[in-house]
Amino acid sequence: MYKYFFLLLFPFLIISQENNQVYEVLSYDDFKNQISNNKVLLFDVRTMEEYNNGHLKGSVNIDFYEEELFNKFFKKVEKSKPIYIYCRSGNRSKKSSEKLKELGFVKVYDLEGGYKNWIIKSN
């Protein structure tokens, strides 16, 4: 009996988990449209050297690997405002998005494929 109950309940648990996701990976086009048409909080989580070699206009560099600085900075940012984030290829921004979720942020948008993808798509 319990086995059948669990089998019936399982799909609903999966759906509810998907709806609670705090961060969303956006395609190049969606990310570009949202940061172009709105005044947004845009963060580059690459190293300063990577940032200095090229970055998205209006972005602020907060190095993901500088954990203490990263945490201290984002503790001061309003948690209810949407955050737009990117890195080189998507790995650090995914980890950053998960960290921001832990810090209490409500909505984080991550650029699919990172800055590398941005350069390819914008040319």
Q: What are phi and psi of 84, to 5 degrees?
A: -110, 130
Average pLDDT, the chain: 88
Please report which confidence band the pLDDT of residue 6 belongs to, taking 50, 70 and 90 as the band edges: very low
Copy the structure tokens of residue 77: 């940012």
The string of pLDDT tens digits covering residues 10-49 is: 454 444 444 567 899 999 999 999 999 888 999 999 999 9
Instruction: State yes or no: pLDDT of 8 exceeds 60.
Output: no
Please report which confidence band the pLDDT of residue 7 belongs to, taking 50, 70 and 90 as the band edges: very low
The string of pLDDT tens digits covering residues 64-114 is: 999 999 999 999 999 999 999 999 999 999 999 999 999 999 999 999 999
- Can you list the domains of the chain with their CATH numbers? 22-122 (3.40.250.10)
- Structure pTM? 0.82
pLDDT of residue 22: 80
Return d(Cα 44, Cα 71) in angstroms, integer.
Answer: 14
pLDDT of residue 38: 82
Instruction: State yes or no: pLDDT of 52 exceeds 90.
Output: yes
Dihedral of CA 25/30/31/34: which sign? negative
pLDDT of residue 26: 98
